[in-house]
Structure 1
């Protein structure tokens, strides 16, 4: 999301804001509160205008004919706007705000200040990765927009008309990156052109962009439907496909020859400082890359002992490496079809749904579904991911399962994977956050350490609700935890310690049961998005620390459901804010 000016200072300020409110004269309280609300309203209106597709998903239809402006000029204008908001927030009289209002102010300031700080680095040029670009953004539109009325379809066609301009903006930004020496590593972009070519089709009916026109809504008369289909086909074939083909030519002729041979962010101009910033941004802590690397090594050693204990429990006779090879190669652990893999994930998801009352007293209203990862990105994409529900209730959350290369998708990982991506993981936390009585920006702000830390913590909750009953699924859980511990070592190794891609792959292969294909895809992901992978384990460790603290303090009065409610009731927040909130919750529980 957005990035931070002085994260350590911002975090310290936020710890203070959670404390008791400072009393102020009624007039001052009202004036400061109104000024803050004006800022929140102005900021949210600006965010919706800057992100028109997101606005539509929330039911705001003012920008239905637009795509985001991806130009460097628009980016620089947004940074300047962020500076203006920071100045307005700094001008507020903090003592005249309630504790909750100060928290709102500080969270928004941190979010905006991170955006300002990020602008001094070249990350603004890295607008494509091996996993996506303008072609995949456009291809996702049918799944992100409503298609219920004639106006919905007309707006969609209007967006398709401006798609060529959007693609050109991305190209120009990438050209600026080439000139500045900021490009993606060659190794993670291998085969990227295939994902572009997938969308260069001869007929509109072959394009995923035509998918909304497969079935006519009953609200649209047949005559209007024929007109809309014909117009969409014309725009796709004559405007969008040529633009995507042009992006493919640009990639082959200009960008691919300019990609870099190095893999670490520290190899780029000011790259070491940029990685240190991203480390703070994604973990919401002041931890250095060296400190995180050491934490990772300790976690790897701890989890390895637990994995070896599970191997002994299984009765397997052989070394750790031989057990890993057994899991990677025995056909009993792999689905025989895409349908079977989806069905097994869906079954585990539904089974988990039924156990949620053991973990929470409050539940999100929005449902979720299980779907495959889109074909055009599947081979270069991770095992699974989650897509949040539409804010206006028009689309459920989606748990995306990668059904490509079935011999790399072991069944013993499904329980941990599903608990992470669906419930009690991402869907539960994110869908609930969207329904909380909070300022709009807090419902959708993505503090990665909280969100991904919760996802990893959710995997461990399977132990509380009867999952992981056989040694193989339990080993799968530990392998997933080990995977995230390895990320602390590998990400910092790649971007701060000069590790090569091969060294990172070897470390992952030695310590996890992930398939070789998955390991390569994951390492390439860390190369292309340095710092993000640190958030999972750092966030999970904090959540486990807070749970243990609460259990010790409350003894027999500790209620796991109420603890989880307290963790999630503020939406996603920095870890320092979460810690202060839970400490306050513990004190309140003692007083009950």
Structure 2
């Protein structure tokens, strides 16, 4: 969902030491010492990779759909069921045993890459299942299941509903939402007993959204959109059958279930909400948060190390404000620049949503002429810009969804516009480079276009994905997109946000910061309004550790680029480096580092 290449020395040292000294729980493991060489090692790995992915997709079908695999579009799964979690853990343990029986050292380079990534993912998923996140299955975020399916219902996001078969598939999926809701309520009641509940502030933010989902009749429901938006090409018989089936499912099952959920949240869950802010306050919370750090950064960095890195990055970027501030007409202290810019009406020039979309479309057109100088590896799939749906606009962040595998649905950059009159124009170039091209769109579209095992083709990890997208923002300087000082400030301020996230996320979840303290930090450091800062902080409260992957990943990619440039000198090719980083899809940062080092050695 989102630095300059010159880094404050202390920040680089901190990050380098963190990687050098790490013995990560999730680092790519060396082959097991007892592994026996097998002629059929590659075939065994291929079969295991397929079994792993099929199990993963059955456990979380919505994730497969999100990554453009439409084979599971009629399934919802019940991964929040304790029994299903137990079965999944047993399955993963058996698959880990199968993996470690393969002689990794005798695999070809591509298979070895798959081995290392799969080793990481098996360990990561097994560790994840040790923590009771299923007891908090509902929050205010757009990826909370009922909200997510309501947004998918219009068929314009990452699940297409443009044929009768796809309409029936979506109906089958939402028919499984009622048992999901009842399991979620049972889980939250168990969470109340164990003291594992959401902060009260998040329940307050979420409640209006769930109340809005529960409608009196099917025709009022957002889940009725496949009927309302039925293409003209549908036959009359399909129209009648689908209309009757959707009406019955929503009226008889889904609307009553959504009403039960809204009542439960208001009458039982809200009174039980906790006053504390961070994950560290929950039972086993410190270990739980350390896992969130590990899975989201693919490193063994500690909360203290990340907090210190964040403070160092904030200081470095604020020093850069000293250069850009006078160009904007600001002569105050560098740290005060974001607040000053936020108060200037000229940086909020829009009157309509469409005006904002047009700026992004013009920027995309400019990029078409500039990207070839930096990339030889570009996706064939187009990109579109769209507005975030109204249902989740108040709590969503700008984001990207991958194209469909058949190429019929493009990659989509979703921009969140609550009020165009308050939309910050300074952020737009950096934001588009991150969410659109060459950020998430290049990464995801290319990953789908190149043949590879399904678990890699339809997978990813946070540090690589968000790290690449944040690194992509820095390329605006080389493409001449930050000639306007306001857009360069916006780039720096976006980088400052990613640094601030390191501070507030670890502050809340490991250092006892309150929600209010974190909001105040963002308002003071980033110049945000109370509403914007609150929305951001509540996101980090609901999604511990996710905000850490951006900076950690981007700094590692920038470090690898500098390493390659130093080692290769005039032989260094930036397009070739970019092809190495994004050419094989997502991988843990330690595996990416090994990949780049091998390329450097081969290029010499």
Contact 1:185 1:259 in 2 (8 A): yes
Whole-Å Cα distance in 1 between the matches of residues 400 and 466 of structure 2? 11
Give the 3 Å change call, closer, same or farther, for CA 299–56 of structure 1 in structure 2: closer
Q: Is the 8 A contact 2:215 2:255 kept in 1?
A: yes
> CA separation of 1:88/1:138 partners in 2, compared to 1, >3 Å: closer, same or farther?
same
Q: Distance in 2 between matches of 1:7 and 1:260?
A: 35
Contact 2:177–2:254, Cα closer than 8 Å, also in 1: yes
Match for residue 130 of structure 2?
120
**Partner residue of 1:71 out of 73, 77, 81:** 81
Paired residue for 2:27, among 3, 7, 11? Answer: 11
Q: Secondary structure at the match of 2:160?
A: coil
Taking a change above 3 Å as real, the CA distance of residues 493 and 160 of structure 1, as seen in their structure-2 partners, is closer
Distance 1:81 1:504 in 2: 40
Offset of residue 163 of structure 1: 2.4
Do residues 181 (structure 1) and 181 (structure 2) align?
Answer: no
Aligned position for 2:8? none
**In 1, distance between residues paired with 2:271 and 2:147?**
22
> For the residues of structure 2 that align with 1:64 and 1:373, how far apart are their CA atoms?
22
The answer to whether the aligner puts 1:504 opposite 2:518 as a matched pair is yes
Unaligned runs of 5+ in 2: 1-21
Residues in 2 aligned to 1:61 and 1:514: alpha-carbon distance in whole angstroms? 39
Q: CA deviation at 1:10?
A: 4.5
Q: Distance in 1 between matches of 2:380 and 2:365?
A: 15
Alpha-carbon offset, residue 326 of structure 1? 3.5
Equivalent residue, structure 1, for 2:170:
156
Give the structure 1 partner of residue 59 of structure 2: 50
Aligned residue for 1:13, secondary structure, equals: coil
- 2:273 pairs with 1:259: yes
Quote how far apart the aligned CAs of 1:55 are. 5.1
CA distance in 2, matches of 1:468, 1:61: 39
What does 1:205-224 align with in structure 2 at a 5 Å threshold? 205-217=219-231, 219-224=233-238
- What is the total number of aligned residue pairs between the two structures? 576
Shift of 1:11: 1.6
1:32-68 Cα shifts (integer Å, max 9, x gaps)? 2222222112112222323334556788776554321
Q: Which residue number corresponds to residue 526 of structure 1?
A: 540
Separation in 1 of the partners of 2:67 and 2:443? Answer: 18
The answer to whether the 8 A contact 1:53-1:145 is kept is: no
- How far apart in 2 are the matches of 1:7 and 1:75? 28
Matching of residue 473 in structure 1 with residue 484 in structure 2 = no
Question: Offset of 1:400 from its aligned partner?
Answer: 0.8
Contact persistence 2:322–2:333 (CA under 8 A): no
Rounded Cα–Cα distance in structure 2 between residues aligned with 1:457 and 1:567: 11
Structure 2 counterparts to residues 260-299 of structure 1, below 5 A: 260-299=274-313
Displacement after TM superposition at 1:539 (Å): 0.7
Which residue number in structure 2 is paired with residue 3 of structure 1?
none
TM-superposed deviation, 1:589: 1.9
**Aligned-residue offset at 1:246:** 1.1
Measure, in 1, the Cα distance between the counterparts of 2:307 and 2:67. Answer: 40
2:363 aligned with 1:344, yes or no?
no
Partner SS for 1:202:
coil
Rate the CA distance shift 1:513–1:344 in 2: closer, same or farther, 3 A. farther
What do residues 222-247 of structure 1 show as CA deviations (whole Å, max 9, x unaligned)?
23313322321232233212211111
In 2, the alpha carbon distance for the partners of 1:62 and 1:466 equals 42
Runs of at least 5 residues in structure 1 that lack an aligned partner in the other structure: 1-5
Determine if the alignment matches structure 1 residue 40 to structure 2 residue 49: yes
Displacement of 1:13 = 2.4
- How many Å apart are 1:339 and its aligned residue? 1.8
**Which of 369, 372, 375 lines up with 2:387 in the alignment?**
372
Match of residue 234 from structure 1: 248
Counterpart of 1:82 in structure 2 is 92
SS in structure 2 at match of 1:533: helix
1:457 matched to 2:507: no
Deviation at 1:455, TM superposition (A): 0.9
Calculate the aligned-residue CA RMSD, in Å: 2.5
Show CA shifts across 1:443-475 (max 9, x none).
222221111011111111100111111211111
1:358 aligned onto 2:373: yes
Q: How far apart, CA to CA, are the structure 1 residues paired with 2:354 and 2:544?
A: 34
Q: Deviations over 1:139-197 (max 9, x none)?
A: 13333333343222223223333321122122222222222211111122323111012
- Matches of residues 136-151 of structure 1 in structure 2 within 5 Å? 136-142=147-153, 143-151=157-165
Give yes or no for the alignment of 1:204 onto 2:218. yes
Instruction: Assess if the C-alpha contact under 8 Å between 2:69 and 2:404 holds in 1.
Output: no
TM-score, structure 1 as length reference: 0.91
Give the deviation of 1:355 after TM superposition: 2.0
Displacement of 1:9 in angstroms is 5.3
Q: Assess, with a 3 A threshold, how the Cα gap between structure 1 residues 38 and 7 changes in structure 2: closer, same or farther.
A: farther
Distance 1:504 1:125 in 2: 25
Equivalent pair of 2:318/2:334 in contact (CA under 8 Å): no
Deviation of the 1:202 alpha carbon: 3.3
Q: Deviations over 1:189-208 (max 9, x none)?
A: 32311101222223433322
Structure 1 SS opposite 2:332: coil
- 1:308-349, CA deviations, whole angstroms, 9 ceiling, x for partnerless residues? 211023332334466434422332212212222222223223
Q: Give the equivalent residue in structure 2 for 1:554.
A: 568
Q: Check conservation: 1:352, 1:419, Cα contact below 8 A.
A: no
